[in-house]
Structure 1
Amino acid sequence: MRCGKGIAGLSYSMISPTQTSIESGIRSVEDPQLCFVGQEQPIMPIEIQDHKPVVEALRDREQELSQLINMVPSHLWRLTPEGEPTFFNKRMVDFLGLDVPDMDRRGKSRLEMLVETVHPDDAAEFRDTLNRCLVSGEHFTMRYRLRRADGLYRWMSSRAEPMRNHAGRIVHWYGLCHDIDDQMHAEEALRRSQQQLQQMIDAVPVRIWSITSLDDPVYFNKRYQDHFRAVIADFEAIEDPRIETLLQELIYPEDAPEVQRTLLNCFESGRGTVMRFRWLEKDGAYRWAECRVEPRRDQDGTIVQWYGVSLDIDDEVRAQEALRNRERELSLLVDMVPSNLWRLTPEGETTLANKHMADFLGVDLQDKRQLAVVFDTIFHPDDVDAVSDVLGRCLKTGELFSMKYRLRRHDGVYRWMSGRAEPLRAPDGGIVQWFGLCHDIDDQVHAEEALRRASEQLARATQAASLAELSASIAHEVNQPLAAIVANSQACHRWLSAAPPNVERAKITAERITRDANSAADVVSRIRALFRQAPQTRSSEDVNHLIGEVCRLMADGIAAKGIRVETDLEPNLPPVALDRVQVQQVFLNLVRNGVEAMDGAMVDGARTLQISSRRDAIDAIRIEVRDAGTGFEHAERVFEPFFTTKQNGMGMGLAICRSIIESHGGRLWMANNETRGATVAFTLPLKASESS
């Protein structure tokens, strides 16, 4: 307003809008013909003295209003119809750090200065919105960030309305700017929290839903909705998905009615529930799910909303089913095991017996009391104390239980059992249970008893067989000298019966008879000493010389069969301490066996018996007898007593030969030749000879 003369010639300057209104009111009261401020009307002189109290009261009122405007906890401002700021209350001046007069700078309007206090990201929208309102006269409403005096931007919620004159023309714009920065940050934090919560609800690997009542649509989290889109073709067309619709679309037809009844009972009773059902997956298969429903109540206990969580438990259900099948299979296996299985507590109380044991004892598996009572009375009276002592010790120490005892069958018969039990321990080593097995060995025990008796009888039979073996051995070895005595006796008779009698040859033959008789006596004596394991008298002998004696002794018989003897004897062999008669018997047996092997078979080519001797390494002499016969058909049994392939053989020759050689500390063995025939060899150690 312009400066001018006031009432009674007093001058006045620009005043606040409140002051202007007050002055205008005064003038209107003093003179009804006066108009609003801004209208140039003649001012009539009046008496001030009468109106002075009124003016003072109005001035006090003006001061009070001014203080009220400055104390309002918001920013108040005023703009011209063109948008130029004309007034900021004190709170806004303190916030911006500048007043309206401070905005009069060269080159920029007050409006431009005002826009510069707005955050750059909000300035363009602020300018456009304000200009639109200035032009259209509509209310200004906007949220933006305003720069504080310290350079910090804070969110403001601003509103402005135009003041019009009686002609409807806008005179001023009055606005209010309220600091909502804390509210905006709280809302932003709330939005982030809600966003995080929504993301968590959508990301959690379960399906979540909520509903206010059965008549309201159901909220589903993203995982639920993705599932619906994959399964229900027209899901997007369903504006308000409801429980009944989804039950018909998703749940297995046999499960849907029960699920619906359970939900209705849950909503009517106000209590939570748990349901299991099968529902459709996108691959067309049904999977088991578990749904848990709980109500949310307000402080008064009134149900505000229902929440549900659906979990996929198909793998769990199938695993439980497999476990139940496995349990049934194991139970059947335990019952079908042909042994008595049982279980004890760590204190020794019986808690389980398989069907096989229950049938054996004649008890009912379902009656645990009967099971415990029967186990106290099933042991044989002679075994009760021993079983109690051993089992009690095992329960205390944790060592394995193992013993034999007799159990009473349901018919009263006691049968031998072999019982074993081991403890099942917890991770800390404590015994949880004992598992035991008792196997029926009654037949085995009786069989062992019968075997023991048979063993005793066999021992007595073996003694008799040993006597028979001794007799057979003596007969076998004496047979040769006796045959020689008979042959020489016949020869002596022929010499004496000749005409004239050949006394000289008869005398020689008689000497041979005497020699053969003494040889038979020596054979009997040596064999008896061999089987008695009596000390034997041994002499140092030349092995090659013994071989020569045997060959000369059997020369006539060998030549008569058309067999030629070849010897390969290593000269200068050291003498060996041996029993001359026994070793000669070995030579005789081996040579005779070789001759008989070639005589009784069709042998092509030369029939030759090869005898060799050599130093075997440095500690033994080795003698071999090689024939060109058919070899041994059962090589693994040739040294068994009484085993023979000869028609009139006794099967004792090689057995006795091995016994003689082994008694000298040597070894005798045989092998079939690669081409034909067989080789029998033995060794005589030199250590015994050197020590003797």
Structure 2
Amino acid sequence: MSISLNEEATPTEPDTALILEHLPGLVWTTDATGTISYCNTRLGEYAGIDFGMSRSSHWASVLHPDDAMYAVQYGQSARRTKGHTVINARLRRNDGEFRWFELSASPLADGGKVCWLATELHESASDRTQEEIESRFRRFVNSLSVPALLITPAFELEFANQAALRWYGFLPEGSEQEALADMEPRKFDEILLPLKAHMKGEQTAVVSYQAQHADGTPRWLEAQVVPILEKSGELTNYFVLQNDVQDSRDAAYLLGKEMEILDMVARGTPSASVLQELCNVVDDLIPDLLCCFLELSLDRKFFRMGAAPRLPSEFREIFDRKSVAADKNACSFAALTKKAVEIQNLVETDHSNTSMGQFMLANKLNYCRAIPILSPYGNTAGIFAILRQQHFELKPRELQIVDRVAHIAGISIDRTRHEEALVKRETQFKRSQAQLVAAQRISSTGSFTSDIQRGENIWSEEFYRIFDLDPELEPSIDAVRERIHPEDLELFNVEMQRGLAGEGSDFVFRIIRTDASVRFIRGLAKVTHYIGDHPIFMGTVQDITETKRAEDALRRGEEALLKAREELAYVSRAMTISALTTSIAHEVSQPLSGILANANACVRLLALDPPDIASAADTARRTIRDTMRATEVVKRLRAMFNRQSPAMDEIDLNEIAREVIALSARDMRERSIVLESGLASGLPSVRGDRIQLQQVILNLVLNGIEAMVEIEGRPRRLLVLTSREEEMVTLSIVDAGVGIAADSAERLFEPFFTTKRNGMGIGLSISRSIIENHGGSMWATPNDGPGTTVTFSIPRTPPLAPSV
């Protein structure tokens, strides 16, 4: 009787169970471990085994020991590949005889199970010779895609299939040779020594060890060892199936390292440590590769060393803090072009002349590949460089390792760059805040943001200091209002009402601090935006007390300066008149002498008998004329000494120029100075103070005379010119004196600057001030020849509007 060992796997459909019971063969199913989970009645009757509920059986227990290993392997292959498999194997009958069956293995969709159908071939084990059996077994083993070995109990290699010979490099790829090559005994040792070391003294079903692959690299193998026993139980051989698990071990190692390194990144480990660990991963998985990571500065202009654990320190010196564009090497090209750069044979390229190329040659490195690590924004963030002594194409496994390592490096570098950018922004923000606080303290300016309607305010540190408020105090308008001077409180309230209406403000008010001091404050606020219908203000308050005091002091200073300027002008006029004393005395003495002579003549004419009345009358008229003449001279002199306020009248510039020329004519004659005038006819009048303008012209004439006192060997000429230029009337004094340097022309008008031996240096400064007060300007220029020209221009009197 046959029953299921797994109730869940028992066919429950009646029709299915009926079909399986009536199939002309033995039917059973196995799970992933090879344990029978279902069998039909025929298998139980044939094998004479009671598959009861009390014990589970591996299906290999009904197989011939020589067929067990490869039959089980076929079953596992069918389960992995999900393909139909047919093999021949011997099954033990209930009387102990082995009969040949054709076994068909079909994978089921349910949990990796396999369904077996065994059909008898009607020949017994004795019908085949041992040679046929072994030949058939070896042909079967050779057909396996995995390396398989047959080893004697003394650990000598008896047989290796083609897959094993190719794996160890003893059989060229694609060869159909079915037997062992003629190999030296040491070759067998290369295959068996690692296996012996793990099997010695142990009967282990699965052995893991390293062996040398055909490409010369050590690789991890996982071997399933199945002992082959005679009927008597004597061990005849070990059948070994080898599975190359290096890639899976590498994948597991890489996955574990990835998780570990990503955890480092997540915990904020510095990128240098992360990149160092990634280099260690590459070193472990691809030992013949030398690798390094370079990071780029935030502005992408400079390299900085990330990690290069197996490279000499000279490599760091080539790149660390060096310009990306300085050395046209592979890493620089990759950084600039954002494309991978591969150098397969360094000595055949121009890269050998670069600093990196010289380093590679010195260290016998001839292959390089520089891979750019790009940021999420497409910019180069770093370089992953791998170096080798010779060029070998990277295998798919190696390419996968390089790509995954570069990807994780990109994550770490990107995080580091974000942190650096954040730190930089935070530093800049803190520096800006510190600068703002310092600037506000220096300028005594506080800032605020205010929603007046909601009573929400934000004040700067300087705002609190200006109003002498506790920094812990909650900002409020009422707190400010308590500091307002009583006389300015109404003004402050009006400005607050304007703010509530959404208008800006700019006004000056006073506050009283806790020490009873009064400070002047300028408040400025503007609406920056609205939240709903609420205007949000941003503004400043500035303590302008010192400015107000300075303005008052400046105003007082200007008043004092104006008074001093008037005093200086008076002194200047006095000095000018003093210089003209001789000429004035001559001008006055002439009419006085005429008056005296005429008076004496008049007396004599009247004393005649009869008196000469007509002649006496003429003499009296001449006396009156000379008296008027002397009176006019005295009036002009008195006006120049008079300290009266300026009187603005319409003035003929030609007329006052002639008056000045007349006053200074005698002085010029005594100094042999030729006076020439070019007074323009029809000159418009100007509006100004007659006495001040006369003083200016006289000062310029005297300066010209003074400049020519020491001139010898050429004519002393003084030219007085007037002209009209558009809306200005111009007067120029041209002398032939010592002249001035071009760079001194403007300095002539500076107070107390003089080129005279005994001059005070205030005449031209006062003269320019007078002209500028008349809305004009004054300047000096060196002549083409000897001497200097000093010119001033003032606006003409506007013409009267025509009457309608």
**TM-score (normalizing by structure 2):** 0.37
**TM-score (normalizing by structure 1):** 0.42
